[in-house]
Chain A
Amino acid sequence: MIVQNFNHKMAAHCESGTITSLLNHGGLNITEPLVFGIASGIFFGYFHKMKSFAFPTFIVRNKPGQMRTNIEKRLGVRFKNYDFKDPVKGQQTLDQLLQNNIPTGAQVDFFYMDYVPSWERVHINVHFLVVTGKTENKYTISDAYFPQMVELDADSLEKGRFAGGNMSPKGFIFHLDKLPADIDYNKAILKGISKACFYMLKIPIPFLGIRGIRMFGKKVVEWPKFARDTEHLSHEIMKINILLEDQGTGGAGFRFMYATFLQQAATITGKPQLAELSAELMKIGDGWREISLFSARIGKNRDLGPDKLKQLSEMLYDRANVEERFFKSLSQAIK
């Protein structure tokens, strides 16, 4: 059983890509940046000491799953969601949906996705993909990170869907249930921007939003004390590049994709200030990219002394300052 007429498309990010694919399949012509922006996907969070993580880390997008729920609220679309305690029931329901020609989104632990090269696989419970078919014991998968559809053993998909730990997927699957007759994109875009500004500027938690970027800048100089040795520190510093560029951000920690959203939003809403801010964010993104390249370079060269970490810290503080100004301007532009 293969879902008919499903059009696989690469996307920058797994969750916004999955939602975009399902909406497109249902007949809604919407881009990934619009989904990302309306869902207030842009964010920042720094986690210095958290039991779930083996080393300090950061995130550059909102909470996993929130893109879907925000899109539902703001566009008026409806997804049907399922989670399971019993893997057998989880598989039966998925198979039934595929039998009914319904492409189905799934949340999985990336580690068990055997089609991914082993060096890329990490335990992260918030990877999203679309299951588009099943033949014998293999599922056909539309994973936004791959140019073509891929196949995955049923056993691996089950392991991925029912992995335990932080943000455990609990077999979660979802599919498009209903599209509204009319969508007020203007209202949805402004709400999406407004919430993004709130989370970046006003959320009263010291490690989130702009304050999170500053905390990252302050704490990154302490990273050596968490590392086993120089090689480990080098690996973790180089992961800054991966988290900003490679783990499905569209480049510069989602800043390039959000700039694309603002450019499209300017046309839809007729607010030219959004186009100007879009160009400004593209430049801000270039600064994040410099951080990515700097991290990769000092990591590779094992040039990880206090002076280099201080330099990295200053670059992060600088991003916090420019983003604070940017999000204040953005907040004003939609009033």
Chain B
Amino acid sequence: MKEKEGFVDYPEQQMILYVEKDDGNYGPMQTGSYISANYMDDYVYKRRNLEIDLRNQVTSGAISPIKYYMILVDLSFSELAARAHIRKSRVKKHLDPKLFGSATMEELLKYAAVFNVPIANLLQILLVKSNGSFESDFILEPKSSGIMVGQSQTSNPYVILTKIEEKSR
């Protein structure tokens, strides 16, 4: 690939591409991501729709919160069990909305660590109003909202602080 063919103007996501330079030598060129520059809107659209679909399922009791997050972070059932250090048979139960309630607090802490969310968010979905509609804080890019939701862990592993504030402009 020639240098001029490879260049993409997308400062938000830079990468190194190996290209043929004008002198015929091959070498690295810093450029933007082609797929992000051209298809980011489509990615965001699909991700939002997926979250809405899963949210509808979890709020109607069709799936458990564990399954909601598992699909959103694109983990397989086996990988979730391995990462959370919870037996597969137990994970299988917790994916079932009727048996989710059998999860212990310790197990929920382990799931929360894998999903990188506070334990409280396994029992609630934070929605932030952005561009006229409510969106999940889990998938919302901070720059797209005027509201900032900050959640910090306290010394008590079961308690988190949630602070909601307007972003300074």
Contact = CB atoms under 8 A, between A and B. Distances in A.
B15 to A, nearest CB: 7
A10 interface: yes
A305 B46 CA distance: 19
Interface string B31-69: 001111011101110110110000000000000000000
Contact of B1 (A241, A246, A251): A251
Contacts of A11: 16, 28
A123 B79 CA distance: 10
Interface in A149-203: 159, 163-166, 168
A118 B14 CA distance: 15
A246 B33 contact: yes
A296 B35 contact: yes
Interface stretch (A21-29, A46-54, A132-140): A46-54
B158 interface: no
Contact of A245 (B19, B34, B40, B44): B34
B69 to A, nearest CB: 11
Contacts of B12: 117
Nearest to A244: B35
Contacts, number: 137
Contacts of B77: 51
Nearest to A255: B18
B59 to A, nearest CB: 18
A235 B47 CA distance: 9
B15 A145 contact: yes
Nearest to B11: A147
A10 B76 contact: no
B3 to A, nearest CB: 11
A235 B73 contact: no
A165 B83 contact: yes
A263 B20 CA distance: 11
Contacts of A112: 116
A282 interface: yes
A318 interface: no
Interface range, B side: 35 or more
Given A12-B15, A117-B141, A119-B141, A260 B26 contact: yes
A251 B25 contact: no
Contact of B27 (A122, A168, A260): A260
A242 B14 CA distance: 13
B25 A263 contact: yes
Contacts of A293: 34
Interface in B1-25: 1, 6, 12-20, 25
A228 B19 CA distance: 38
A131 interface: no
Nearest to B26: A260
Contacts of B76: 51-54
B121 interface: no
A296 B38 contact: yes
Given A51-B79, A118-B139, A286-B1, A10 B19 contact: no
Nearest to A236: B74
Contacts of B18: 12, 33, 250-251, 256-257, 259-260
A159 B1 contact: no
Interface in B103-140: 113-114, 116, 139
B159 interface: no
Contact of B78 (A52, A120, A234, A282): A52
Contacts of B91: none
Given A250-B17, A257-B18, A164 B82 contact: yes
Contact of B116 (A111, A120, A242, A286): A111
A41 interface: no
B28 A54 contact: no
A112 B30 CA distance: 25
A261 to B, nearest CB: 9
6 contacts: A117-B13, A123-B75, A123-B79, A146-B14, A164-B83, A166-B79
Nearest 10 interchain pairs by C-beta: A51-B78, A165-B83, A256-B18, A260-B26, A54-B76, A12-B16, A250-B18, A165-B82, A164-B83, A251-B17
Interface of B: 1, 6, 12-20, 25-28, 30, 33-36, 38-40, 42-44, 46-47, 49-50, 73-79, 82-85, 113-114, 116, 139, 141
